[in-house]
């Protein structure tokens, strides 16, 4: 019979119901173990459980079950149904189409940064996904509480280049297929009916940063930030205007940060240098300029000193990786996304990168021990808790982002 390690009987019943189709043969001869797979603050949009299935001949299957928060106040703050719809569409449609194109073009090493998924559910208030537990395959989740080092940043930027290359090649060679993916990947998280609370959090945090400046000494930063915070709603509303991206639109991961990237370390001579990665949590995937993923990763996951040394080089590495895969697929990067267009998009869409850094860095820098049970809190408690700057280190980080934007000529 199954053996379950968890305290929540209701959760256990839901998980068993989800995975029963995966279990083959005599269900009396399997052992089932369920444990929580995340701490408070590790995943804001899902309840994560690790599931191990062992049958009578010691064959083991290790899974991750991600279940949507069902509590109504939390679902009013975040558009839970919308994002689970999106993630399931990515696994069911985007991933297989990208793999198929590479196979048709004879690409020797298939780029496939997705975990295998087995079961999905879109039952109201019971949305869920069942996927391979990539930890059992040697992958480790990136640390979102510290700034990324160069080896990890280099691999992420190269893989983002490949990921965006797939959209560009698909648009070039299979426009009908890409149109279907594009139509179903319009930005819907920041423009959902219930997203006003998150815009409020961003503006609250931005104003805290604004108030930290000296009114005399820091006038260079105060006025641009003040003007920018008055345009937060318009900036996110503009994400849905596909004509802003034109022929350069690609499917973005939409949440490209360390908590959503798993790394594998396959070089024993350099055990701290990652050799593979897997992108997880596709709930915010959407069509936009490739600059969106780059801005998100660079300004959420790196520090000012790091960018002073590596930002330009990482952009070049991204573009080189994208160009290489496009050539293998039979397309031309200079035609589909010239480097100077990418640079212009980084300047044009910089405000989005600033607002994301203001919001996500605050979430990432919160200590698990200081995070209450937000799933079972009221809307006001959720918004107020997520509108607090977690530390002086947070203030320093965001002020560094603003300083760099001014240095790079990014109007925000």
Q: What does the pLDDT read at residue 261?
A: 98
Do 256 and 262 form a contact (C-beta atoms < 8 A)?
no
Question: Has residue 57 got a pLDDT over 80?
Answer: no
Q: In which band, very low, low, confident or very high, does the pLDDT at 6 lie, cut at 50, 70 and 90? A: very low
Q: Which fold has domain 1-67?
A: N-terminal domain of TfIIb (2.20.25)
113 token code pair? 């940064």
**Short-list 190, 188, 186, 290, CA closest to 247:** 290
Q: In which band, very low, low, confident or very high, does the pLDDT at 58 lie, cut at 50, 70 and 90? A: low
Question: Has residue 269 got a pLDDT over 50?
Answer: yes
**Distance in angstroms (rounded) separating the CA atoms of residues 164 and 152:** 18
DSSP states along 85-120 = HHHHHIIIIIHHHHHHHHHHTT-SS-------EEEE
- Angle in degrees, CA 98, 92, 90, rounded to 5: 70
Q: What does the pLDDT read at residue 185?
A: 95
- Length of the chain in residues, anyone? 412
Across 63-72, 206-215, 382-391, 401-410, least confident range: 382-391
Do 219 and 170 form a contact (C-beta atoms < 8 A)?
no
Across 17-31, 131-145, 217-231, least confident range: 17-31
Say what the pTM is.
0.94
**Short-list 377, 393, 329, 3, CA closest to 169:** 329
Residue with tokens 């996110």: 236
Q: What does the pLDDT read at residue 27?
A: 55
What separation in angstroms does the CA of 71 have from each of 40, 80, 195, 369? 16, 10, 16, 22
Choice between 247 and 22, residue whose per-residue pLDDT is larger: 247
Q: In which band, very low, low, confident or very high, does the pLDDT at 5 lie, cut at 50, 70 and 90? A: very low
Choice between 76 and 162, residue whose per-residue pLDDT is larger: 162
Angular region, 33: left φ>0, alpha ψ -120 to 50, beta rest: beta
Angle, in degrees to the nearest 10, between helices 291-301 and 350-364: 40
**Distance in angstroms (rounded) separating the CA atoms of residues 144 and 223:** 31
**Short-list 92, 50, 73, 78, CA closest to 180:** 92
Question: Has residue 208 got a pLDDT over 60?
Answer: yes
Query: Is 134-408 in CATH node 1.10.10?
Result: no
CATH 3.90.1200 residue ranges of the chain are 134-408
Grouping H, G, I as helix, E, B as strand and the rest as coil, residue 42 is coil
Q: What does the pLDDT read at residue 164?
A: 98
Q: What does the pLDDT read at residue 2?
A: 33
**Short-list 154, 187, 173, 147, CA closest to 292:** 187
Q: In which band, very low, low, confident or very high, does the pLDDT at 22 lie, cut at 50, 70 and 90? A: confident
Rounded to a whole number of angstroms, the distance between the first and last alpha carbons of the chain is 59
Q: What does the pLDDT read at residue 126?
A: 92
Q: What does the pLDDT read at residue 4?
A: 37
Question: Has residue 280 got a pLDDT over 70?
Answer: yes
DSSP states along 133-150 = -GGGGTEEE--TTS---H
Average pLDDT over residues 332-342: 97
**Short-list 396, 361, 398, 321, CA closest to 158:** 321
Q: In which band, very low, low, confident or very high, does the pLDDT at 383 lie, cut at 50, 70 and 90? A: confident
């Amino acid at each position: 019979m199954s053996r379950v390690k968890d305290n929540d009987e209701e959760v256990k019943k839901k998980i068993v119901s989800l995975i029963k189709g995966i279990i083959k043969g005599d269900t009396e001869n399997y052992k089932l173990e369920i444990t929580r797979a995340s701490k408070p603050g590790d995943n804001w949009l899902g309840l994560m459980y690790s599931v191990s299935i062992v049958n009578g001949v010691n064959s083991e299957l290790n899974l991750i079950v991600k279940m949507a928060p069902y509590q109504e106040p939390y679902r009013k703050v975040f558009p839970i149904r919308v994002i689970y719809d999106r993630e399931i569409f990515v696994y069911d449609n985007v991933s297989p189409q990208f793999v198929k194109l590479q196979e048709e073009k004879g690409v020797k090493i298939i780029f496939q940064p997705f975990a295998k998924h087995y079961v999905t559910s879109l039952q109201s208030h019971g949305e869920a996904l069942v996927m391979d537990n990539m930890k059992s395959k040697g992958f480790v989740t990136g640390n979102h509480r510290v700034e990324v080092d160069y080896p990890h940043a280099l691999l992420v930027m190269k893989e983002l280049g490949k990921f965006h290359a797939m959209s560009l090649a698909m648009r070039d060679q299979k426009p009908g297929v890409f149109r279907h993916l594009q139509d179903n990947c319009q930005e819907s998280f920041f423009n959902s009916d219930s997203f006003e609370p998150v815009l409020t959090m961003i503006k609250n945090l931005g104003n805290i940063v604004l108030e930290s400046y000296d009114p005399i000494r820091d006038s260079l930063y105060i006025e641009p930030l003040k003007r920018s915070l008055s345009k937060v709603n318009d900036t996110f509303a503009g994400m849905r205007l596909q004509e802003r991206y034109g022929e350069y639109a690609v499917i973005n991961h939409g949440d490209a940060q360390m908590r959503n990237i798993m790394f594998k370390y396959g070089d024993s001579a350099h055990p701290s240098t990652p050799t593979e990665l897997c992108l997880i949590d596709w709930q915010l995937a959407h069509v936009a300029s490739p600059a969106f993923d780059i801005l998100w990763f660079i300004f959420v996951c790196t520090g000012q000193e790091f960018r002073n040394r590596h930002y330009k080089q990482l952009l070049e590495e991204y573009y080189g990786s994208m160009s290489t895969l496009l050539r293998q697929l039979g397309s031309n990067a200079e035609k589909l996304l010239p480097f100077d267009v990418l640079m212009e998009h980084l300047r044009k869409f910089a405000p989005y990168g600033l607002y994301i850094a203001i919001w996500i860095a605050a979430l990432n820098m919160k200590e698990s021990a200081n995070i209450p049970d937000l799933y079972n809190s009221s809307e006001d408690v959720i918004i107020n808790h997520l509108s607090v700057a977690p530390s002086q280190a947070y203030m320093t980080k965001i002020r560094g982002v603003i300083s760099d934007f001014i240095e790079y000529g990014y109007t925000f």
